[in-house]
Amino acid sequence: MQFTLDKGHFITGYFMERGLNTLCIHSGVEAKNETGFENYGAISYPIYQTATFAHGGINKSTGYDYSRMQNPTRNQLERIVTNLENGSACIALSSGMAAITLVMELFEPGDHILVESDLYGGSIRLFENISKKNRMAFTYMDFSDEKIEESIEKNIQSNTKAIYIETPTNPMMKIADISLIAKVAKRHNCLLIVDNTFLTPYFQNPLDLGADIVIHSGTKYLGGHNDTLAGLVVTLDHVIDEKLRFLAKTTGAVLAPFDCWLVLRGIKTLGIRMEQSQKNAIKIAEFLESQDKVDDVFYPGLPTHKGHEILKKQARGYGAMLTFNVNTQETAYKILEKVRIIKFAESLGGVETLITYPTTQTHADVPESKKIKNGITPRTLRLSVGIEDVQDLITELNDIFNEL
């Protein structure tokens, strides 16, 4: 049975009208052959741990030649993520940064990109240190601005080729109106690239809202267990997919079979993890709001959040990432030192609740002036809320606040 990755949606027939949880588990392929089942009926998709594939003769390929180009386990992951994002093709890379780097290779020296200024620090590091070296130019903007349409019009140039956003942003949780931005991007023949890591396809599908390319750090919610790095690029456009596929096979940062399998396994429980961590996040956001030593809580699930209504319009959930400012740097340090169930660590999107200090961790390489402009201070903490019993998380935080 052969599959190609650039011939449209993989969801056919029986799987067409199914819910997201069913698609997370079953949408890879309805694998059947003459014996009834492919892969001996294995319920867990096999790990094809092979670098290369035998040929029956000249021009007799099984469709798999060399694992940098194609691998069945990777193709299974790519099909599932394609389906979840309503795309037509997906490429699985060795990390989220490998995915973003691959997408940047679509551009040429002299190209200009409008970029959200409050992005994951690693993305900014890539643009500032590698892409700029390749003579690309960037204008950083606040895409949550109410006058974003005018602001794009003002900043767009004849060489602007793309708009690159996260929504919610990392770490300040700002919300951009994807359809509106897509409309303006199309008017100017620009690609809209959306990093959908925070909400995942379970809560948000940027391609349905007019985006051209969706990026994921699969390390986060898709993998879901803090045990592997992965990146994914999903697109609707066959020409872009072909370019990306050429770039992936040429530059080589594709995802290894075992890591593909870990992400496949993670995706099976994406829905229940997203729901549970979101429920926990809402309770923690409310708890933090009630604390004297907390000055601000940035969680788009709160009705007071500036982007709440836009998010409700374009997504099916708020996610489980939240950022808050405490009263002093000392309070921030104490919280980081005292947490026990909550772990002081970089990254996000796993079953474990993690607390991160953006200024020295995820956003360490963002220039100080940009951090200040974005609102990232030494009093800023970011929580990736996991699926533990929420009362245990709140009790831990409450005890810490009481001891301060």
Ligand X SMILES: Cc1ncc(COP(=O)(O)O)c(C=O)c1O
Which residues contact ligand X (rule: CB under 6 A)?
95-97, 120, 122, 166, 170, 195, 197, 217, 219, 229, 231, 347, 362
Kindly name the residue from 48, 120, 164, 221 that is annotated as catalytic.
Answer: 120
CB nearer ligand X, residue 217 or residue 331: 217
Spatial CB neighbours of 168, under 8 Å, sequence gap ≥ 6:
174, 175, 198, 199, 300, 307, 311, 319, 321
Active site residue 120: yes
Q: Which of 210, 221, 166, 203 is nearest to 348 (CA)?
A: 221
Q: Which of 167, 173, 205, 200 is nearest to 349 (CA)?
A: 200
SS3 content of the chain, % helix, strand, coil (to 5): 40, 15, 45
Measure the CA–CA gap between 343 and 267, rounded to whole angstroms. 23
The structure tokens 């549970």 sit at: 276
CB 200 within 8 Å of CB 270: yes
Kindly name the residue from 74, 79, 161, 220 that is annotated as catalytic.
Answer: 220
CB nearer ligand X, residue 11 or residue 215: 215
> In whole angstroms, how close is the CB of 108 to ligand X at the nearest point?
23
> In whole angstroms, how close is the CB of 317 to ligand X at the nearest point?
16
CB nearer ligand X, residue 224 or residue 231: 231
> In whole angstroms, how close is the CB of 358 to ligand X at the nearest point?
10
Chain centroid, CA 404 distance in Å: 35
CB 10 within 8 Å of CB 79: yes
Kindly name the residue from 142, 195, 241, 259 that is annotated as catalytic.
Answer: 195
Active site residue 220: yes
Closest-approach residue to ligand X (CB): 96
CB nearer ligand X, residue 85 or residue 396: 85
Tokens for 289, please give them: 């709001």
Between the alpha carbon of residue 250 and those of residues 63, 69, 75, 246, the distances in Å are: 18, 9, 18, 6
> In whole angstroms, how close is the CB of 233 to ligand X at the nearest point?
11
> In whole angstroms, how close is the CB of 356 to ligand X at the nearest point?
9
Active-site residue list = 68, 120, 195, 220
